Every structure is written in C-alpha cells, then in structure tokens.
Amino acid sequence: MHYVYVLISEGEEPESYIGMSSDLRTRFEQHNAGRNTSTRGRLWRLAYYEAYLTRNAAEKRERLLKLNGRSRQLLMQRIWKSLAEEDVQL
C-alpha cells in the first residue's frame, strides 16, 4: 500500500503538510523527530490519509493536491470541518 497523507501542525497557527509514503507510521514518526526539512521544528498530527494500491496512483494524487489549488482547498475544507465537528484542539 502507498499513502497520501495530510499533517496538521500543533500550535496557535496550524499549518498543513501533504506527503506520500509506503510506510505511513514510520514516516509520521520521522516528521515529528525532525528528520524532514520541511516539517522540522513543529509537532504534527495525522489529520487525513488515503490508501492506494500502486505508487504511481499515490504520486499522481499527491502531485494533484500540491499543484492544484482548488483540489487542495476542497480537501482542507473537508479536513477542517471534520476536526471542528470532533472538537479537536490542535
């Protein structure tokens, strides 16, 4: 399996990060351990993920979310609404 995921940083001004991995658990631990330049210096929560059977399909989805503002916007609205409904404190 290959995963496309969204991380949300903890803190007063949360940020998001979109990534892809075949080992989601290990990759998430790497983000919080500071072993990724883009996410270093913050603590992250896994807010969302999608599973794909092929690496190619996951790469296409990640690329779409990173490069297509409307696709990213719609997904982030869905994530924030879900977090608000659950009354999750970031």
The domain spans of the chain are 2-85
Give the span between the Cα atoms of 55 and 68, in whole angstroms. Answer: 20
Domain 2-85, CATH 1.10.287 — does that match?
A: no
pLDDT of 55: 98
| 23 closest CA partner among 71, 58, 66 | 58
Q: Rounded distance, CA 3 to CA 51, Å?
A: 5
Classify burial at 58, counting beta carbons within 10 Å of its beta carbon; exposed 0-12, middle 13-18, buried 19 or more: buried
Give the pLDDT score at 58: 98
Q: What is the pLDDT along the chain (90 residues), one digit of tens a residue?
A: 999 999 999 888 889 999 999 999 999 999 999 998 989 999 999 999 999 999 999 999 999 999 999 999 999 999 988 888 766 555
Q: pTM of the predicted model, to two decimals?
A: 0.88
